[in-house]
Amino acid sequence: SQKIEQNSEALNIQEGKTATLTCNYTNYSPAYLQWYRQDPGRGPVFLLLIRENEKEKRKERLKVTFDTTLKQSLFHITASQPADSATYLCALPKYSSASKIIFGSGTRLSIRP
Amino acid sequence: KAGVTQTPRYLIKTRGQQVTLSCSPISGHRSVSWYQQTPGQGLQFLFEYFSETQRNKGNFPGRFSGRQFSNSRSEMNVSTLELGDSALYLCASSPGDGNVNIQYFGAGTRLSVL
């Protein structure tokens, strides 16, 4: 069955450094992959989408890569700030239905000043 | 455009009761999905409605049900509540008819079952 794995432990990064989060998946061939940010007690907020034929996508300080051979996506935040502290979720469409989205368990990121 | 609105924000119920949660999607969005989020299980897909029809379903017991109205608003019902149903229930809307599905989430309803 399909499985999505993210760094299970929290990631602590010094302000100003680059944070790198990992999303691995198995038994999938998704047409695209998404990243969301979730703050405590709130719903996730969409950040970026990358398609299977794209290697890299950027938005301001965010960068996402998508390696369909390794079945892995990396999510980078450059020049990290304490305000970037949140849980980050990757998400993929269920193989049999593009409208059904499956989320990873998320990685909690903490940026210390 | 107004975002996704969920009501109520908080609910406290006792075991055996039933509960109905409401979700108003972004104007123009025809798809509404429901998720359950708990610390142990993460974000779990419950079901998705599109144009008043259930289009996808997750692996939850029949106590969890939903419906969608002609204006795309959706309700989710949980009957015979169990302690394990305590969770943050999130709904998300999307246009529903493209080849990508970006989920726009509401703030959620925090359900506590005592």
Model confidence over B21-77: pLDDT tens digits? 999 999 999 999 999 999 888 899 999 999 999 999 999 999 999 999 999 999 999
CB A82 within 8 A of CB A112: yes
Question: How far is B40 from chain A, CA to nearest CA, in Å?
Answer: 9
Distance CA A88, CA A103 (A): 10
Virtual CA dihedral for A65, A63, A86, B46, nearest 10 degrees? -40
Residue B101 touches partner A, C-beta closer than 8 Å: yes
User: Confidence band (pLDDT; 50, 70, 90) for A94?
Assistant: confident
Model confidence over A31-84: pLDDT tens digits? 899 999 999 989 999 999 999 999 899 999 999 999 999 999 999 999 999 999
CB A80 within 8 A of CB A70: no
